[in-house]
């Protein structure tokens, strides 16, 4: 592992909420930056509404910087959000050019803008001279074809983009199918901005493979790999692992549960949020289907607490203990 390896926790709409970021950073080591899920529909030149302000509380968690993200195709909207974030004390804003969902992409937002480099150029041209904080971009290799990135390379090179994270897939692939390290490598050769690799790092072996392919890359964004195995960043960095991972995981989950209930004022949506986390975390156990079955049926908080007790009394962890 490169001594300067930086690991960023990818944003997940509905999962990496304020509560999640706070609690994750409290219990696990190895992550260098946390990203918020994307914000959209910002009213230009109006103060942010209370709900968005709340979701943006904490510019860092346990010393780890938090980076807000915006999904937008409007320069004034991006700048308005950037000014709010700067006023709140954030140091970086990230622009989402990766969201693959058809209802977003169809409107040339997220990865739907990637086939239109002139549009990306125009927005960067309007935004960069007035940007009050570091501006980074998260994109994919393209929307329909991985080759689309090659027309974006000269565009990104024209601006002082702080970091370009590339999820090595196309938008059309959503989150499945193979990543395309060759197309990533071709783009990397031409890029003059700092590049972050993203896509399908689930184990230390995956990390070793990708960092072997791209020795010049020192920044990696990891999403599902951390959601499935929260110890992964520390393991990649060779940091000391806790003696009792089971107890750490349990501590994290209990903390997350109470923080989520607090954030959602004990509404049933807190239960759904926990179940959403478990759709990934179940893979930390040897028999994920059995684990998820125990949790899925929980209809109220008491059921959920009983299910957690059952899981920790019966189910073996798969991740290295």
Ligand X SMILES: Cc1cc2nc3c(=O)[nH]c(=O)nc-3n(C[C@H](O)[C@H](O)[C@H](O)COP(=O)(O)O)c2cc1C
Stretch that binds ligand X, among 21-29, 152-160, 223-231, 255-263 (CB under 6 A): 223-231
Q: How far is the CB of 15 from ligand X (least distance, A)?
A: 7
315 near ligand X, judged by CB under 6 A? no
CA distance to 96, 232, 233, per residue, from 238 (Å): 31, 10, 9
Per-residue b or e along 22-37, where b marks 16 or more CB atoms closer than 10 Å to that residue's CB: bbbbebbbbbebbbbb
Whether 99 sits among the annotated catalytic residues: the reply is yes
Q: How far is the CB of 34 from ligand X (least distance, A)?
A: 11
Binding residue (CB under 6 A) for ligand X from 225, 230, 233, 288: 225
Site for ligand X in 165-204 (CB under 6 A): 167, 175, 198-201
Decide whether 181 or 251 has the Cβ nearer to ligand X. Answer: 181
Q: Which residues contact 253 (CB under 8 A, 6 or more apart)?
A: 281, 308
Q: Is 167 annotated as a binding residue?
A: yes
Decide whether 84 or 96 has the Cβ nearer to ligand X. Answer: 96
Decide whether 15 or 75 has the Cβ nearer to ligand X. Answer: 15
Decide whether 109 or 315 has the Cβ nearer to ligand X. Answer: 109
96 near ligand X, judged by CB under 6 A? yes
Binding residue (CB under 6 A) for ligand X from 30, 37, 230, 233: 37
Query: Residues touching ligand X: how many (CB under 6 A)?
Result: 20
Binding residue (CB under 6 A) for ligand X from 69, 72, 80, 111: 69
Nearest-angstrom CA–CA distance, 31 and 64: 7
- Pairing of the two strands 219-222 and 64-70: unpaired
DSSP secondary structure string for all residues of 154-189: HHHHTTT-S-EEEEEEEGGGTT-S---HHHHHHHHH
Q: How far is the CB of 205 from ligand X (least distance, A)?
A: 15
Q: How far is the CB of 222 from ligand X (least distance, A)?
A: 5
68 near ligand X, judged by CB under 6 A? no
Helix intervals (H) in the chain: 18-27, 50-55, 75-88, 102-105, 117-127, 148-157, 181-190, 204-213, 224-228, 232-236, 245-263, 269-281, 288-296, 301-314
Residue 141 structure tokens: 């290799």
Q: How far is the CB of 97 from ligand X (least distance, A)?
A: 9
Site for ligand X in 3-22 (CB under 6 A): 10-13
Half-sphere exposure of 110 (CA within 13 A, CB side): 21
79 near ligand X, judged by CB under 6 A? no
Q: Is 69 annotated as a binding residue?
A: yes
Nearest-angstrom CA–CA distance, 107 and 126: 20
Residue 148's nearest CA partner among 124, 130, 172 is 172
| Residues pairing with 33 in the sheet | 8, 65
Nearest-angstrom CA–CA distance, 184 and 167: 9
Nearest-angstrom CA–CA distance, 291 and 294: 5
Binding residue (CB under 6 A) for ligand X from 64, 104, 222, 308: 222
163 near ligand X, judged by CB under 6 A? no
- Pairing of the two strands 64-70 and 60-61: antiparallel
Q: Is 169 annotated as a binding residue?
A: no
98 near ligand X, judged by CB under 6 A? yes
Just list the catalytic residues.
99
Q: Which residues bind ligand X (CB under 6 A)?
A: 10-13, 37-38, 69, 96, 98, 138, 167, 175, 198-201, 222-225
**Feature table: binding site:** 69, 138, 167, 223-224
**Feature table: binding site for FMN:** 69, 138, 167, 223-224
């Amino acid at each position: 592992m490169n001594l300067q390896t930086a690991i960023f926790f990818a944003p997940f709409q509905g999962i990496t909420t304020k509560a999640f970021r706070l609690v994750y950073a409290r219990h696990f080591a190895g992550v260098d930056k946390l990203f918020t899920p994307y914000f959209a529909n910002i009213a230009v030149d109006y103060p942010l509404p209370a709900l968005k302000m709340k979701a943006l509380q904490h510019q860092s968690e346990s010393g780890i910087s938090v980076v807000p993200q915006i999904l937008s195709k409007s320069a004034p909207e991006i700048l308005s959000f950037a000014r709010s974030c700067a006023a709140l004390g954030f140091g970086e804003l990230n622009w989402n050019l990766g969201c693959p969902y058809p209802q977003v992409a169809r409107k040339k937002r997220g990865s739907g803008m990637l086939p239109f480099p002139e549009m990306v150029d125009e927005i960067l041209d309007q935004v960069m001279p007035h940007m009050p904080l570091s501006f980074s971009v998260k994109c994919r290799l393209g929307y329909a074809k991985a080759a689309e990135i090659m027309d974006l390379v000269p565009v990104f090179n024209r601006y002082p983009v702080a970091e370009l994270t590339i999820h090595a897939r196309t938008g059309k692939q959503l989150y499945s199918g193979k990543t395309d390290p060759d197309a990533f490598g071709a783009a990397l050769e031409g890029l003059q901005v700092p590049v972050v690799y993203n896509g399908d790092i689930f184990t230390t072996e995956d990390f070793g493979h990708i960092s072997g392919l791209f020795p010049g890359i020192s920044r990696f964004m990891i999403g599902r790999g951390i959601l499935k195995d929260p110890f992964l960043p520390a393991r990649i960095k060779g940091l000391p692992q806790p003696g009792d991972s089971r107890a750490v995981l349990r501590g994290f989950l209990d903390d997350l549960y109470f923080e989520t209930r607090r954030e959602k004022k004990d509404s049933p949506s807190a239960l759904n949020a926990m179940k959403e986390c478990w759709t990934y975390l179940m893979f930390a156990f040897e028999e994920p289907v059995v684990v998820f079955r125990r949790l899925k049926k929980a209809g109220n908080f008491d059921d959920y607490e009983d299910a957690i007790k059952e899981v920790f009394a019966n189910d073996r962890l798969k991740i290295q203990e």
